[in-house]
Amino acid sequence: MIVVKVGGSAGIDYDAVCADLAARWKAGEKLILVHGGSGETNRVAEALGHPPRFVTSPSGYTSRFTDRQTLEIFEMVYCGKINKGIVERLQRLDVNAVGLSGLDGRIFEGRHKDSVRAVENGKTRVLRGDHTGTVEKVNTGLIELLLTAGYLPVLTPPASSYEGVAINVDGDRAAAALAVALKAEALLLLSNVPGLLRAYPDEASLIRHIPADDVEAYLEFAQDRMKKKVLGAAEAVAGGVRRVIFGDARAGQPITAALDGAGTVVS
């Protein structure tokens, strides 16, 4: 089993990802796709007059402040436009894909965090009314049902809280939890960069290999959202996934290239 997470940043070539995925699926490989949608969510939120608000925690992690209206816009884009766009591409390629959010069948479950500590103008404030959380539990029953019946699952945040409330969760860490739960042999985190760069944005500074027992030491090279990918990779290898690869989804055959060792390999 290979879990492929494709991001939602500008420049990602979903056609290339889907074509590669379809070819491998038809050759008999078992794969699951997890996707993001942050770039498009920002655009739609602006257009709807509810612009995105990003907050930085005291430890330096950036996240989207998700009030109820933001959550609804998030669902429109992630579960609607992006998820169905990917399912449509795969169906055109004759792959029987099924798109689901983490709410469906409670595939992704975690604790609802209603408040977030945010550093603004040098001061730490507590913001309430946040609909966020982290995936703590993956319920694989529905996924296994689908895979056994020959369907390719295409998964996206949000997740479900233990009380059944929709929560915005990080897609990279959700994919990592999924890879652990399914005992996947590899987790691919594909984005619009060649991999983890030592001196972002210099693409020539690509880090080729990260030892599995030392992933957190590489957090220092990752800024803002890239930190979540490094954290996800650390969680996946700690949970028994043998290989995590940060790969490039902008062109070519992104999945095949990553599995062939392009990008940053954590092993």
Cβ 110 vs Cβ 170: under 8 Å: no
Closest contact distance (angstroms) between CB of 69 and ligand ADP is 21
Quick check: 8 binds ligand ADP (CB under 6 A)?
Answer: yes
Closest contact distance (angstroms) between CB of 146 and ligand ADP is 24
Q: Of 42, 91, 192, 256, which lies in the binding site for ligand ADP, with binding defined by CB under 6 A? A: 192
Quick check: 203 binds ligand ADP (CB under 6 A)?
Answer: no
Q: Looking at beta carbons only, is 167 or 196 nearer to ligand ADP?
A: 196
User: Is 98 strand, coil or helix?
Assistant: strand
Q: Of 14, 65, 162, 200, which lies in the binding site for ligand ADP, with binding defined by CB under 6 A? A: 200
198 belongs to an annotated ligand binding site: no
Structural tokens at position 243: 């290989």
Part in contact with ligand ADP (CB under 6 A); list of ranges 5-13, 87-95, 180-188, 235-243: 5-13
Part in contact with ligand ADP (CB under 6 A); list of ranges 55-63, 101-109, 131-139, 195-203: 195-203
Q: What angle do CA 78, 65, 235 make, to 5 degrees?
A: 70
Using CA atoms, how far residue 123 sits from 57, 58, 62, 66, 94, in Å, is 11, 9, 15, 20, 53
Beta bridge partners of 123: 120
Judged by CB under 6 A, the chain residues 213 through 232 that form the site for ligand ADP are 221-226
Closest contact distance (angstroms) between CB of 116 and ligand ADP is 18
Closest to 257 in 3D by CA, of 21, 7, 29: 21
Judged by CB under 6 A, the chain residues 152 through 191 that form the site for ligand ADP are 191
Taking the C-alpha atoms of residue 101 and residue 99, their distance in angstroms, rounded to an integer, is 7
Using CA atoms, how far residue 119 sits from 132, 147, 161, in Å, is 17, 43, 25
Quick check: 197 binds ligand ADP (CB under 6 A)?
Answer: yes
Taking the C-alpha atoms of residue 239 and residue 214, their distance in angstroms, rounded to an integer, is 14
Q: Of 16, 18, 182, 193, which lies in the binding site for ligand ADP, with binding defined by CB under 6 A? A: 193
Q: Of 79, 174, 196, 255, which lies in the binding site for ligand ADP, with binding defined by CB under 6 A? A: 196
What does DSSP say about strands 152-156 and 31-35: parallel, antiparallel, or unpaired? parallel
Judged by CB under 6 A, the chain residues 24 through 43 that form the site for ligand ADP are 36, 38
192 belongs to an annotated ligand binding site: no
Cβ 126 vs Cβ 95: under 8 Å: no
Binding residues (CB under 6 A) for ligand ADP: these are: 7-9, 36, 38, 191-193, 196-197, 200, 221-226
Residues forming the annotated binding site for substrate?
64, 168
